[in-house]
Amino acid sequence: MAVQISPSILSADFARLADEAARVEGEADWLHVDVMDNHFVPNLTLGLPVVEALLRATSIPVDCHLMIEDPDRWAPGYAEAGAGSVTVHAEAAKAPVRTLRAIRAAGARSGFALNPATAVEPYEDLLPEIDMLLLMTVEPGFGGQRFLDVVLPKVTRARALIEKHGGEIWLQVDGGVSAETIERCATAGADVFVAGNAVYAAADPAEAVRRLRELATGF
Ligand code: DX5
Ligand code: ZN
């Protein structure tokens, strides 16, 4: 279970995305890109054209988190564009098996996300279709929110389910992950850590990524 850090560009300067990506190059395992449609969540960010531009501008693999309605329609396009990982929400997908398979067929890792109040147990049978399970540790929609400790027992239970199914699925946490909270997430069993504010509000984002990795590894 190798620790991976995925800085979220939601907290970066959208006018300078290529430069912001470059600031964590060599340290970050992924660049986390939050796609929001102002329907599934009450915020609007960016879509496929910006992701395509970012893919041309960086060599860091892109981790697309789709907080949108009708992800069944849109998700495969992000995989076809070259995103390394594409995550859809359980609360939004109407045909998750078909969509997760379409993401894989297009060459990306399939991600499946659960909001804080969504239980993981009903999705156990779907685990073979999933390369990464994302547990939201804030209500999705905005960066810089306070970490929800209430999700930690679910992280522990999700880790146990993953081990029961062979242990290959990555377990990502997203929301309020910082130097203060990352050890709790790692102890509970998370291995992929999204961090927006903790990286891009820092004076030295690369150093912030190093520090987060150290804390998540050495708990
Ligand atoms: C929130 C997004 C997160 C966000 C995390 O809905 O999914 O990826 O960028 O930002 P921080 O780390 O600042 O909570
Ligand atoms: Zn996200």
Q: How far is CA 72 from CA 36, 42, 118, in A?
A: 15, 20, 19
Q: Check residue 194 and give its pLDDT.
A: 99
Q: Name the band, by pLDDT with cuts 50, 70 and 90, for residue 209.
A: very high
Average pLDDT over residues 123-127: 98
Does the pTM of the predicted model rise above 0.95? yes
Q: Check residue 5 and give its pLDDT.
A: 98
- Exposure on the CB side of residue 23, measured as CA atoms within 13 A: 21
Tokens read off for 42: 């009450």
Helices (H), the chain: 17-22, 48-57, 71-81, 96-105, 152-164, 182-188, 197-200, 205-217
Q: Which helix (H) or strand (E) holds 114?
A: strand 109-114
CATH top class, domain 4-217 = alpha beta
pLDDT tens figures, 78-112 = 999 999 999 999 999 999 999 999 999 999 999 99
Average pLDDT over residues 192-210: 98
Predicted confidence (pLDDT) at residue 1 exceeds the cutoff of 90: no
Q: Name the band, by pLDDT with cuts 50, 70 and 90, for residue 219.
A: low
- In this structure, what DSSP letter does residue 61 have? P
Q: Residue 174 Cα, ligand 2 centroid: separation in angstroms?
A: 6
Residue in 33, 34, 44 to alter for ligand 1 test, most ligand atoms within 8 A of Cβ: 34
How far is residue 26's CA from residue 89's CA, in Å, rounded to a whole number? 29
Which ligand 1 atom minimizes the distance to the CA of 36? 6
* Whether residue 176 has its Cβ less than 6 Å from ligand 1: yes
Q: Which helix (H) or strand (E) holds 32?
A: strand 31-36
* Whether residue 205 has its Cβ less than 6 Å from ligand 1: no
Q: Check residue 140 and give its pLDDT.
A: 98
pLDDT tens figures, 26-47 = 999 999 999 999 999 999 999 9
Catalytic residue numbers read 34, 174
Kindly list the domain boundaries of the chain, sorted by start residue. 4-217
Average pLDDT over residues 14-21: 98
Q: Residue 65 Cα, ligand 1 centroid: separation in angstroms?
A: 10
pLDDT tens figures, 103-113 = 999 999 999 99
* Whether residue 5 has its Cβ less than 6 Å from ligand 1: no
* Ligand nearest to the CA of residue 8, numbered in listed order: 1
Average pLDDT over residues 110-130: 98
* Ligand nearest to the CA of residue 42, numbered in listed order: 1
Please say whether the beta carbons of 123 and 155 come within 8 A: no
pLDDT tens figures, 144-194 = 999 999 999 999 999 999 999 999 999 999 999 999 999 999 999 999 999
* Average pLDDT value over all residues in the chain: 98
Comparing CA positions, the residue from 34, 28, 54 lying closest to residue 212 is: 28
- Coil vs helix vs strand at 36: strand
Percent of the chain with pLDDT strictly greater than 70: 100
How far is residue 206's CA from residue 153's CA, in Å, rounded to a whole number? 30
Q: Which residues of 21-54 are buried (b: 16+ CB within 10 A; e: fewer)?
A: bbbbeebbbbbbbbbbbeebbeeebbbeeebbeb
String of DSSP letters for 154-203 = HHHHHHHHHHHTTS-SEEEEESS-STTTHHHHHHHT--EEEESHHHHTSS
